[in-house]
Structure 1
Amino acid sequence: MIAIVELTKTMSIAAEIFQNDPDATAFLQMDGARTTYRDARRIVCSIALEARLHESGADDRIALLTPRGKDGVLAFLAVSTFAICCPLDPRLLDEELSAAISDLGIALIVDLTGEERISRIALAHGLDVRSVSVSDLKIRSEHELQLGNDLQHGDIALLLQTSGTTSKPKHVALTHANVLAAAASIGKSYEIGSSDICINPMPHHHVHGLISAGISSLLAGAAQFCAPSFTPAAFDEAFDRLRPTWFTGSPAFHLGLLDFYKTLERAPPQGSLRFMRSSSAPFPASAIGDYESLFGVPLLENYGMTETASTVCSNLLPTHLRKAGSVGVPIGAEVRIVDDAGEDVLAGTEGAILLRGASVITGYASGENGPEFFAQGWLRTGDVGHVDHDGFLFILGRTKELIKRGGHSVYPLEIDSSLLSHPDVAEAISFSIPHPTLGEELVAAIVVRAGSDLSGDDVRQFLKNRISTYKIPAAVLRVAAIPKSATGKTARRSMRDAFASELSTKGALAETETELVLLRIWREIVGSSTLGVTDNLFVHGADPIRAQRACLAIAEKLKCSLIAKDIIRNPTVRQQASILTRNHDIVVAVDT
């Protein structure tokens, strides 16, 4: 199903939005205050006049820094009407912010944060800063300024950086047409209308908060509450007061709510909500049932990218079929699955995912437009998946995230899903580390649910009958948190550094003669003098062939047997010594 929405051909995003009923509510506040579409238009005009945006050219790139809340959406409408809006995360460090300004070729900075450092950074780049305080703004008449009625849909509204799987950011230039097409498809597919209220907890420097929730609600003439910050308690208060009909967030956001209400041993108020939307990362399959039962409505998982101006596939409302593990059906784009030769594959066959549609870019503004990025007008997403006979898309992982573990190919997203199927696993991410013989070794990190004593070894045992042996991580780290971006996404390539300490050798000394003999055997086999009795041998150089070699050495030195399968299942010297001591009477003279 592809949602087709007719839009005016010669208007900006703001001009399209402000065709709505001027007396309808656009934004709600916790204190009961409401901002109508007429009010919103006046604020947008006032921001534009205060920042003198009408003096800018359509091709000027203007950096926008705003705190969370409705002002971020309104400031975007003001900037994008006159120039190219480049929203930046105000939480960036000075060096990161400076690098983004240089990389994007910024001509002017519009700042709504009031932070002194912004002026200092701008001065270093020779840029002007136009500071705007919306609370102190002199509200002007909406008739003082035309909001882009003469713009073309092909004009660029939004420029974002996306790093993908490389270190150099690519520039995604989204036109007014791209943004409007994406927002309209979301509104049509979710049947959003003037009676709807959305809680939007996401920041506005990414497409999730800005387009999927913000612009889609405004284009549909609906109301929204843009949360200035997120805590489960604040959400609960907003939910109780505002009685939303839908809300959206990352899986981390949703899982935080699930744990919050479980701790309170009560559910949120029932009756107003129609659906919930989850985006930015896969939602744990094991938690979907509990979460839907908690709120009493369906959770709609979806698929989109910065390059597609947000959602292009989604599970739909209950009158339509939904499938567990799928990101749904196309709602605003065409989807192709192709093989290595670029040929379409049969339904159910794994291949590369290509996209094309009104919201999808046809080239990167930074110049990466070769055949590795685009194929005859189709965007190469870098994702791997398949479409079933009913048209549902299933994502397996990223092409460039493919882990080559010896002779096996492993897609981390599949491993993540398997880890998350355990009821006590709240968050999970798998990733690779360098390995001397396999090339890469597969490891994972998990965050467990409150009160659980689940261990990494428990999880590996859980996976044994669910996925192939070569897909089971050599080590599963139990950690307090998995690092995420502001939108709840995890950068898989950064996990090695994030958990370097947990993965390093600890060098624990042997406490028994058996441990000492085993430690000497393994230190010689893997070539590590720092290896300790509690270190995971397979993280530090062991493999199935080396395990066989260790079996022979153990038989020679300790006069008893240990099979390779036991070594793989018990990957530390201490665990292996325990098995040997339990199963054999070991007498060995050890020179300490």
Structure 2
Amino acid sequence: MHFASLPDDRARSVPDAPAIGDDRTDLTNRELAARVTAAAGTLADHGVGRGDVVAVQLDNRVELVVVLFAAWRLGATVNPLNPVLTGAEATHQVLDAGSVLLVTADGTGPVADVTTIGVDDLTSSSAPELADPSADDLALLIYTSGTTGRPKGVMLTHANLDAMTASFIEWLEVTEADHSMLVLPLFHANGIVLGTLTPLRAGGQVSITGKFSRDRFFADVERLRPTYFSAVPAIYAILSALPEDVHPDTSSLRFVVCGAAPMPAELISRFEQRFDVVLVEGYGLSETTCASTINPLHGLRKPGTVGLPLPGQQVAVVDSDGRQLPAGEVGEVAIAGPTVMVGYLGKPEETAESIVDGWLRTGDVGRFDEDGYLVLVDRVKDMIIRGGENIYPKEIESVLYQHPDVLEAAVVGMPHDVLGEVPVAFVARRPDATADADDLLELCRERLSDYKLPVSVTLVDELPKNPVGKIDKPTLRTTVTSA
């Protein structure tokens, strides 16, 4: 499907049913369609047309979703920006995308050569007709987080969104009865696709709760009664560390999803048992529109794996020559199918390096187990080579997470004059923890070969995070490199 018509379709079908809300407003299907039409008129009044790019830099709020549908109504593409980008970072992204208009909260923005409007301006009385839709229309330009260089624009079409949302609806059994509580950022594929478009396509509704807050999260669950939400491991770790006397009512939740980074099996079990909810871990990238594997809702779920390939997608583990490897052998994860991006905007060489013979080479290291579940070993770029021996930080982190005092752990490589690199660990502990660095090193000695042992464990109050909530290993590497 082409998502430009979705608001109108919902309004015709059940006009007074709830569609989307945030802390400021709640919209029915009829009201959402009207807001989208008015916003599309405003964009058209500013010269936006088919093939143009509209940038939007907003905190999580209803207007961001309205701009998505409004731009798509005109046949335009949306470039969502992280609201905390610096002026220089935002300028690079807006200009690199070729954006002709920027939407911000108050109508001011950092890009001098691009017209900027505010959310209060999205009220035109003109009502442009729906542009002749094509599945090949570019829907989104999602910029990578830039941990390996300057951010790149991932080009996703309406065909990509169609395939991804259909896959989610089938696998997670999403219906008109479902209600997504959105806490992840709407400048990221997970928030847009799983958190918003999937329930809306299925006839359900979305509640946007704004920036994650430990102290209000479960109050929102009890107030809104969602049937699912998606979050990152850091959020689940924070929630699992709430005081033991916190017992929220989670009975409305059918399941919750974890993505963006591997989640330790111990943390999954701890969260499920404490809050009486099914947690399914998945795996994907912006380059595959959101997710490619997820543990099933029914049948065998395997904490510590990222599940089975989603409907319509092919997932393989390959060697350096692209040959598919059998179960049990470790190689690079590769993905093919209708959710794979068109490519990186304006970067044909990098696109050709990433997509080989139709397969996206992810840069992630993994293996399939005997039941066909994908086990992530690590990132290719995160691998540490210590005196010729390959060390995958995730293996060390998994051991550290087995200690009940560990809230979060990250292992990176530190340069070494003789060995090339050695592993060092950073750990944030739970409140009232008593374990010290020596205790954690002793746990590693019990369960890891000598060459895998971290040379140090540094205790920190909190591990740094990137904008999508992943532990920011590049920052940690900078710390140990400059030490």
Same fold flag (TM > 0.5): yes
Which of 171, 187, 195 is equivalent to 2:177? 195
The structure 2 residue matched to 1:331, chosen from 297, 301, 310, is 310
1:416 to 371, 389, 397: 397
**By how many angstroms is 1:498 displaced?**
4.3
Matches within 5 A, 1:44-63: 44-52=36-44, 55-63=47-55
Q: 1:70–1:226: 8 Å Cα contact kept in structure 2?
A: yes
Aligned match of 2:323: 343
**Other-structure match for 2:468:** 487
State the AA in 2 paired with 1:339.
Answer: D
SS in 2 for 1:52: helix
Q: 2: CA distance between counterparts of 1:377 and 1:268?
A: 46
The code of the aligned residue for 1:122 comes to V
Q: Deviations over 1:342-362 (max 9, x none)?
A: 211111111111101111124
Contact kept? 1:192, 1:220, Cα under 8 Å: yes
Change in 2 beyond 3 A, CA 1:411/1:164? farther
Q: Distance in 2 between matches of 1:46 and 1:413?
A: 49
Are 2:153 and 1:171 equivalent residues in the alignment?
Answer: yes
Shift of 1:430: 0.8
Asked if structure 2 preserves the Cα contact closer than 8 Å seen for 1:153 and 1:175, the reply is yes
Distance 2:140 2:23 in 1: 29
Comparing 76-85 and 395-404, the one that deviates more: 76-85
Does the 8 Å CA contact 1:109/1:128 hold for their aligned counterparts? Answer: yes
Residue type of the partner of 1:73?
V
Q: Deviations over 1:192-221 (max 9, x none)?
A: 111111211111111111112111111111
- Deviation, 1:295, is 2.1
Partner SS, residue 372 of structure 1? helix
Q: Which residue of 2 aligns with 1:573?
A: none
Q: For the residues of structure 1 that align with 2:299 and 2:27, how far apart are their CA atoms?
A: 34
Match of 1:352 among 332, 336, 341: 332
1:242 aligns with 2:229: no
> Structure 1 residues 360, 53: closer, same or farther in 2, change over 3 A?
farther
Query: In the superposition, relative to structure 1, how do residues 50 and 17 fare at CA in structure 2: closer, same or farther (>3 Å)?
Result: closer
1:440 aligns with 2:421: yes
Report the secondary structure of 1:368's partner residue: helix
Report the identity percentage: 34
Letter in 2 for 1:86: N
Equivalent position amino acid for 2:111 in 1: A
1:59 partner SS: coil
Decide whether the 8 Å contact of 1:350 with 1:385 is kept in 2: yes
Alignment correspondent of 2:364: 383
CA distance in 2, matches of 1:291, 1:373: 35
1:327 Cα deviation after fit: 0.3
Unaligned runs of 5+ in 2: none
Q: 1:198 to 1:370 in 2, by over 3 A?
A: closer
* Equivalent in the alignment of 1:122: 111
1:58 & 1:186 partners in 2: Cα distance?
A: 28
After the TM superposition, which residues 243-322 of structure 1 pair with which residues of structure 2 at under 5 Å, given as runs? 243-260=225-242, 263=243, 265-317=245-297, 319-322=298-301
Residues 53, 337 of structure 1: CA spacing in aligned structure 2 closer, same or farther, 3 A cutoff?
farther
SS of residue matched to 1:49: helix
In the alignment of these two chains, the number of paired residues is 477
Q: 1:477 to 1:95 in 2, by over 3 A?
A: same
Output the CA distance in 2 between the equivalents of 1:340 and 1:499: 30
**Whole-Å separation in 1 of the counterparts to 2:324 and 2:148:** 27
1:461 to 416, 431, 442: 442
Task: Give CA-to-partner distance per residue, 1:362-413, whole Å, 9 cap, x none.
Answer: 4322223565322211110111101123221111111122211112111222
Matched to 1:422, the amino acid is H
> CA contact under 8 A between 1:284 and 1:427: conserved in structure 2?
no
C-alpha deviation, 1:228, in angstroms = 2.2
- Supply the distance in 2 between the matched residues of 1:350 and 1:471 (Cα, whole angstroms): 18
Displacement of 1:450 in angstroms is: 0.6
Structure 1 residue 15 corresponds to structure 2 residue 5: yes
Q: Distance in 1 between matches of 2:23 and 2:274?
A: 23
* TM-score of the two chains, using structure 1 as the length reference: 0.76
Question: TM-score normalized by structure 2?
Answer: 0.93
Equivalent position of 2:98 in the other structure: 105
**Residues 456, 140 of structure 1: CA spacing in aligned structure 2 closer, same or farther, 3 A cutoff?**
farther
Three-state SS of the structure 2 residue aligned to 1:86 is strand
Q: 1:257 to 1:243 in 2, by over 3 A?
A: same
Q: Per-residue deviation at 1:30?
A: 5.8
Q: Structure 1, unaligned stretches of length 5 or more? A: 1-7, 505-592
The structure-2 alpha-carbon separation of the partners of 1:289 and 1:219, relative to structure 1 and needing over 3 Å to count, comes to: same
SS at match of 2:371: coil
Aligned equivalents of 1:226, 1:267: Cα separation in 2: 23
Q: Is the 8 A contact 2:414 2:422 kept in 1?
A: yes
Secondary structure of the corresponding residue to residue 470 of structure 1? helix
Query: Counterparts of 2:342 and 2:142 in 1: how far apart (Å)?
Result: 15
Q: Is the 8 A contact 2:106 2:117 kept in 1?
A: no
Q: Shift of residue 19 of structure 1?
A: 2.4
Name the CA distance, whole Å, in 2 between partners of 1:57 and 1:305. 29
AA paired with 1:102? L
Q: CA deviation at 1:266?
A: 2.8
Cα distance between partner residues in 1 of 2:399 and 2:269: 16
Separation in 1, partners of 2:352, 2:253: 44
The structure with the larger Rg is 1
Letter in structure 1 aligned against 2:438 = D
Partner residue in 2 for 1:554: none
Give the stretch that moved more between structures: 362-371 or 217-226. 362-371
Residues 163 and 257 (structure 1), Cα distance of their counterparts in 2 relative to 1, 3 Å cut: closer
Q: Aligned residue for 2:71?
A: 79
Task: Give the whole-Å Cα distance in 2 for the aligned partners of 1:163 and 1:405.
Answer: 28
For the residue of structure 2 that corresponds to 1:336, the secondary structure is strand
Tell me the CA shift for residue 81 of structure 1.
3.3
Contact preservation (8 Å) 1:286, 1:423: no
Task: Provide the C-alpha distance between the structure 1 equivalents of 2:95 and 2:415, rounded to a whole number of angstroms.
Answer: 33
Residues in 1 aligned to 2:87 and 2:338: alpha-carbon distance in whole angstroms: 36
Structure number with higher strand proportion: 2
CA separation in 2, counterparts of 1:370 and 1:223?
Answer: 36
Asked if structure 2 preserves the Cα contact closer than 8 Å seen for 1:42 and 1:139, the reply is: no
1:158 to 140, 151, 168: 140
